[in-house]
């Protein structure tokens, strides 16, 4: 009897430790923020507004607004889980040049100069603050707001697109949920449902009622190509899936070359 009691006690203690581990380590699995901005749009010769936006819970986040002359449309861009906006300046310049559109790029709380501590609900509030800022701009046609998210930003973008009005949703290298990603990376890990961070795009995508473009490299080893396919299958029409052949997780715009930018430009032009 005593040995049975101790066995149960050990099992309960192990479960308790795992729950603490799962809730605490999930942040380290998902987020890799950096505070130092290694570059800015000015380094790429771009005019921009360096913004401080206040979220509904009072957190000040940093964003860059890069205008494009005579454009009424805007690309609202949510980046991936590592670094900050400063690591995206080269791609920012290419998107600005090729798409000929205004761009608002956002750093989540805890990234770059943004204050606060990163969390799933926090990123949702950050996204909404960025969207609300666009609503205040008189030079923007509110029917030409395109939401763009890649990697982690795809989940932020899907949630925002399910809650606000926009012209279209563009996702690059999206995943279905954090739980599914954990299953890919750590298939041996038990009790995956205990992981606190969800980013369940698979369920939220069903509430998105706007045109959708998904782009995914077929050699992506970070977020498997099949995750993009699964998200696409669950999405409403109209929708387009574009395979960037030979591309890994971070080089779709390089491997895809001009075709990468032309497919985005075509999507925007068709849905203005």
- Residue 63 contacts residue 78 (beta carbons within 8 Å): no
Contact 65, 49 (CB under 8 A): yes
Q: Check if the beta carbon of residue 93 is closer than 8 Å to that of residue 44.
A: yes
Annotated active-site residue in 26, 71, 114, 151: 151
Read off the tokens for 35.
Answer: 């505070």
Examine the residue annotation and report whether 151 is marked as an active-site residue of this protein: yes
Identified catalytic residue from 107, 126, 180, 220: 220
The values of phi and psi at residue 258, to 5°, are -60, -35
79 is catalytic: no
Token pair recorded at residue 13: 């203690």
Distance CA 232, CA 208 (A): 12
Q: Are 114 and 62 in contact (CB under 8 A)?
A: yes
| Contact indicator for 206, 179 with CB cutoff of 8 Å | no
Q: Which residues contact 132 (CB under 8 A, 6 or more apart)?
A: none
Say if residues 114 and 60 touch (Cβ distance below 8 Å): yes
Task: Check 79, 96, 216, 249 and give the catalytic one.
Answer: 249
Q: Is 71 a catalytic residue?
A: no
Location of structure tokens 């040995």:
3
Catalytic machinery residues: 151, 220, 249
């Amino acid at each position: 009897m005593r040995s049975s009691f101790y066995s149960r006690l050990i099992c309960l203690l192990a479960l308790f430790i795992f729950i603490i581990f799962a809730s605490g380590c999930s942040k380290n699995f998902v987020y890799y923020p950096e505070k130092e901005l290694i570059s800015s749009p000015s380094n790429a010769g771009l005019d921009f507004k360096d913004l401080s936006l206040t979220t509904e819970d009072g957190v000040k986040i940093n964003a860059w607004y890069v205008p494009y002359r005579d454009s009424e449309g805007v690309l609202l861009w949510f980046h991936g889980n590592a670094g900050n906006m400063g690591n995206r300046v080269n791609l920012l310049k290419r998107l600005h040049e090729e798409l000929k559109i205004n761009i608002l790029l956002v750093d989540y709380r805890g990234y770059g100069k943004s204050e606060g501590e990163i969390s799933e609900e926090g990123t949702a509030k950050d996204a909404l603050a960025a969207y609300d800022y666009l609503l205040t701009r008189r030079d923007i046609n509110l029917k030409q707001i395109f939401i763009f998210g890649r990697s982690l930003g795809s989940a932020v973008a899907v949630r925002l697109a399910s809650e606000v009005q926009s012209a279209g949703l563009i996702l690059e290298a999206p995943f279905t949920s954090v739980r599914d990603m954990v299953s890919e990376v750590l298939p041996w890990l038990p009790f995956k449902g205990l992981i606190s961070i969800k980013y369940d795009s698979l369920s939220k995508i069903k509430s998105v009622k706007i045109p959708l473009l998904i782009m995914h490299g077929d050699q992506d080893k970070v977020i498997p190509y099949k995750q993009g396919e699964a998200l696409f299958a669950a999405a409403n029409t109209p929708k387009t899936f574009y395979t960037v052949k030979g591309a890994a997780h971070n080089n779709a715009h390089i491997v895809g070359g001009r075709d990468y930018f032309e497919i985005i430009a075509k999507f925007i032009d068709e849905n203005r």
